[in-house]
Amino acid sequence: MDRQQSRADRLIHQFDTVLRTLAPHAASPQRVSPAKDVTGERMDDHERRHAAGLMRIHHTGGVCLQGLYQGQGITAQLPHARKQMEQSALEKIDHLAWCDERLEQLHSRTSYLNPLFYIAGFGIGAATGAVSDRVSLGFLAAAEEQAGKSLDLHQQSLPAGDACSRTILRQMAIDEAHHAHIALEAGGLRFPAPIKWLMHLGAKMVTRGVYHF
């Protein structure tokens, strides 16, 4: 009976996470936005749209990673691996909320493509988790590493006066590096450079569409 209840609890948690990930303004962060007390300079319309496009990319990246965590969580074989994924997924909710809030401040919106990327992330997470915890944690570490590189790049690409968005992306990059490290420490496989390059190529294709839509 306890085991069945535990499964039911996990299903309820999964459903709640899907809603908080995909429903507009539904993400409730555990941490306040790092840009809460940051003020930036005025931006013209072109700069504002560019900043919004970059923040939309990283919101969608968070959606995809959240799907990855949730998919891996249901197929993880070891309790410590599942617990690790759940903790990291909670911090992803923070990222979603921060990006969503910043997009609203920039008079913009999240991507229309988010449901597709959540489903894709979930499917990949479930598939790698079904192979082994070592593979799933390794894929997770590689994905977090790619996300961190993109965050570093876009901090430089943001308009000079957009200190708010830059502060958010900086904290997200710190979190991504931590997530990648602990996934490897938990036993994740270190993926070879060619696989990471293919993941980078896939991420670039995603960002082109999400920047606008």
**For 23-72, how does the pLDDT look when each residue is reduced to its tens digit (9 = 90+)?**
677 777 889 999 988 887 789 999 999 999 999 999 999 999 888 888 88
Token code pair at residue 155 = 């901090």
**For 105-164, how does the pLDDT look when each residue is reduced to its tens digit (9 = 90+)?**
999 999 999 999 999 999 988 888 888 888 888 888 999 899 999 999 999 999 998 999
More confident residue, 10 or 62: 62
For residue 162, which of 40, 34, 38 has the smallest C-alpha distance?
40
* Binding residue positions for Fe cation: 95, 144, 176, 179
* Binding residue positions: 95, 144, 176, 179
pLDDT, position 35: 92
Average pLDDT over residues 7-19: 63
Q: For residue 43, what are the contacts with CB-CB under 8 A and spacing of at least 6?
A: 51, 159, 161, 162
pLDDT, position 3: 44
**For 184-198, how does the pLDDT look when each residue is reduced to its tens digit (9 = 90+)?**
888 888 988 888 888
pLDDT, position 57: 95
pLDDT of residue 99 exceeding 90: yes
pLDDT, position 96: 93
Cα 126-135-198 angle, rounded to 5 deg? 90
Overall CATH class of domain 42-212: mainly alpha
Instruction: Give yes or no for a contact between 203 and 146, defined as CB atoms under 8 angstroms apart.
Output: yes
Q: For residue 6, what are the contacts with CB-CB under 8 A and spacing of at least 6?
A: none
pTM (predicted TM-score): 0.85
Instruction: Give yes or no for a contact between 161 and 44, defined as CB atoms under 8 angstroms apart.
Output: no
Q: Which amino acid is at 33?
A: S
Q: Which amino acid is at 199?
A: M
